Structure formats: structure tokens, C-alpha cells
């Protein structure tokens, strides 16, 4: 087990790691235990009662957090013609097709999200081995393969978060920054949880929402009492 630093050890003395805390109190603890000099991201880890091995129990989607993530997101849009112009006017950081395909093949990855129009996916698809493992491949289910590029860019810039349940049945998602007000972080968390509930697979049996843990980038996890969230 990795040796923990002095500041981390001091942080965990401030709470009971086995206790379930009301949402707002848990957020206050996460903020209080932040001991680094940068504005950490607050992450939510939601354990779901699903078995991701089965396709009909895969939980995947996206949600626009009401108060955003606090991160400036660089958006690359693959488009041509009028849609290229639309994307530029909507605030995309990079817009084009062949030149960016070549740049990515040569190792360029200075962007956070990728949007593509359906008519260019035959070209973008060649980047699957590069973008796929990094979670950057445009996907119709996430709204990133669309002709409505202006709205896709608007949602991403506003704080759209993509999520996918992992092999252990856990969804990880950023819900804001430590510097956010507690009420705003709480509203972001509840928005994420409500979307996960909406996406509950019909084949999922037993308890669906099993646990919720909040933590800052470098801080310890605080368990949340789900009764105070939904």
C-alpha cells in the first residue's frame, strides 16, 4: 500500500470514513479536507446494482450539470461546409476535417471533447484506435455525433459530463470544483443521480443505487447517505 503524506493523514482525522453523511455535510467535509494549493475537482463515485458484463445492464449517458464542472473545455469539431461555419460561430476551439485527422495521427491531442457530423464519421472512424481508449470518440448515444453541432458545443461548454459504468459497476463523474458553493455542488450531484435513475436498466434487479462517495482530486472519499440525495 502506498505511503500517505502527512497532510492526507491529517485530513482523514477530520471524519469517520465508515459513516454515511448527509449530502451537504459530506460536501463540506470534502471542501474542508482539501489541502493542496490548486482548485481540486470534486468527483462522485456511484456504485450501481448492475452487471456491466451484460449489454442490457450497461449504464452509459451524459448530463448537463446546472453549475458546470468549473473546467474550461476545448472542443474539436469534425465537420465540413456550412456545419464547419456553424461550429466556429458556436465557439468550437478547433474545426475542420482532414487536417485534424492527420494531426491526431501524428500525436496531437490538445482537446477535451470531440463532436462530429454524421456525414464525416467514415473519415473520423479511422481514428477509433486513438480516440476510443481515451474516451474521445464521437458517439450518437452521447449526442456527439449530430448535425446540431451548435447545441452540442453549447452543452459541452456549459458543463456536459459523459459517464459510463466500469467493470466494477461504478460510475465516476466530476461534479464541480472545491471552490464551488456547497449548494451548487449539491445540485450538480442530485442532477447526476437523477439522470442515473432515469437510465436504470429494466433488467437490473435488487437495489440499484448502492452507494455514493464524494472526494476531491487528492483527498479521501466521504460516503453519502443516499436518502439525503433522492
- Sign of the torsion formed by the C-alpha atoms of 225, 49, 113 and 129: positive
Q: What is the pTM of this model?
A: 0.81
Using pLDDT thresholds of 50, 70 and 90, give the confidence band for residue 36.
confident
List the chain domain ranges. 16-69+160-228, 75-157
Q: Is the pLDDT of residue 167 over 80?
A: yes
Residue 76 falls in which region: left (phi positive, over 0), alpha (psi -120 to 50) or beta: beta
Q: Which pLDDT score is estimated for 174?
A: 95
Question: Could you tell me which of 58, 76, 59 has the C-alpha nearest to residue 137?
Answer: 76
pLDDT tens, residue by residue, 95-152:
999 999 999 999 999 999 999 999 999 999 999 999 999 989 999 988 999 999 999 9
User: Can you name the CATH fold of 16-69+160-228?
Assistant: Ribulose 1,5 Bisphosphate Carboxylase/Oxygenase (3.30.190)
Q: Does domain 75-157 have CATH number 3.40.50.790?
A: yes
Amino acid at each position: 500500500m502506498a505511503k500517505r503524506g502527512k497532510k492526507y493523514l491529517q485530513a482523514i482525522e477530520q471524519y469517520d470514513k465508515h459513516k454515511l453523511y448527509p449530502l451537504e455535510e459530506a460536501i463540506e467535509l470534502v471542501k474542508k479536507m482539501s489541502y493542496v494549493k490548486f482548485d481540486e475537482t470534486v468527483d462522485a463515485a456511484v456504485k450501481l446494482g448492475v452487471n456491466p458484463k451484460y449489454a442490457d445492464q450497461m449504464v452509459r449517458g451524459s448530463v448537463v450539470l446546472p453549475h458546470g464542472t468549473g473546467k474550461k473545455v476545448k472542443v474539436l469539431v469534425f465537420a465540413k461546409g456550412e456545419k464547419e461555419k456553424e461550429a466556429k460561430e458556436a465557439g468550437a476551439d478547433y474545426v475542420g476535417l482532414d487536417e485534424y485527422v492527420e494531426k491526431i495521427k501524428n500525436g496531437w491531442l490538445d482537446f477535451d471533447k470531440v463532436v462530429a457530423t454524421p456525414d464525416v464519421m467514415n473519415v473520423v472512424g479511422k481514428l477509433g484506435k486513438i480516440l476510443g481508449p481515451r474516451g474521445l470518440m464521437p458517439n450518437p448515444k452521447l449526442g456527439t455525433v449530430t448535425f446540431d453541432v451548435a447545441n452540442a458545443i453549447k452543452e459541452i461548454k456549459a458543463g456536459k459530463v459523459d459517464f459510463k459504468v466500469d467493470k466494477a459497476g461504478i460510475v465516476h463523474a466530476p461534479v464541480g470544483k472545491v471552490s464551488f458553493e456547497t449548494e451548487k455542488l449539491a445540485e450538480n450531484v442530485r442532477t447526476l443521480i437523477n439522470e442515473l435513475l432515469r437510465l436504470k436498466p429494466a433488467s437490473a434487479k435488487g437495489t440499484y443505487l448502492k452507494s455514493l462517495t464524494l472526494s476531491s482530486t487528492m483527498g479521501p472519499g466521504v460516503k453519502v447517505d443516499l436518502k439525503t440525495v433522492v
